[in-house]
A and B are shown apart, each in its own frame.
Chain A
Amino acid sequence: EAGVVQSPRYKIIEKKQPVAFWCNPISGHNTLYWYLQNLGQGPELLIRYENEEAVDDSQLPKDRFSAERLKGVDSTLKIQPAELGDSAVYLCASSRNTGELFFGEGSRLTVL
């Protein structure tokens, strides 16, 4: 069974530029999560999808962040414009209805 796939693995951009991250969850996992992880910190939830519906996005900075999960499978997380403080690892995870999360390798963003 293929794991959660994320791309790109690394992205370096200048501040004020846009950036997008893509995630393909494990087949059959209806719940998809985007977490942000800063160095030395645990993952922090940005948004959670149940199929194509965003059911928990209270921690998503909606002035610059947006996400979508069309057709309830792949998801894209976008930042526009990026700020220096957005430098972090963006983790995508998926799960069935058990709460056990399976993470992708993450997308490491550096904003210069």
Chain B
Amino acid sequence: QKEVEQNSGPLSVPEGAIASLNCTYSDRGSQSFFWYRQYSGKSPELIMFIYSNGDKEDGRFTAQLNKASQYVSLLIRDSQPSDSATYLCAVGISGNTPLVFGKGTRLSVIA
């Protein structure tokens, strides 16, 4: 059974701070890792993906992957109230295999 674990939160951070969202996965064969943001009542939207160990930066977002520890994280710098949402971690074996999603972490950025 492939599992993707996330702390459900809520994670509360003050505006301007760094939000750190974490995710662990059980299948060592996992090759692709995605972070989706989901606003309340809306569908998930892709923020970032990462395939290789290390960091990947895109604007205020940084994804970090450590395959040895089976751990992937998302850092949000200069957090804004508009970042308040649920963040879903999703993991795939390779290519076009169906993604397995975690339950999501609810982030609240306090102005």
B96 to A97, Cβ gap below 8 A? yes
In the complex, besides A42-B88, A100-B46, 8 extra interface pairs with C-beta distance below 8 angstroms are A40-B8, A42-B103, A56-B98, A97-B96, A99-B96, A102-B46, A103-B44, A105-B43
**CB of A60 closer than 8 Å to a CB of B:** no
Chain A 14-57 per-residue mask, 1 if CB under 8 angstroms from chain B, else 0 = 00000000000000000101010000111111001010000010
**CB of B27 closer than 8 Å to a CB of A:** no
- CB within 8 A of A44: which of B32, B44, B95, B101? B101
Contact surface of A with B, Cβ cutoff 8 Å = 31, 33, 35, 40-45, 48, 50, 56, 91, 95, 97-106
Contacts of A48 in B (CB 8 A): 98
- Bound-state CA distance A73–B7 (Å) is 37
B92 to A99, Cβ gap below 8 A? yes
B46 to A99, Cβ gap below 8 A? no
Contacts of A99 in B (CB 8 A): 32, 34, 49, 92, 94-97, 99
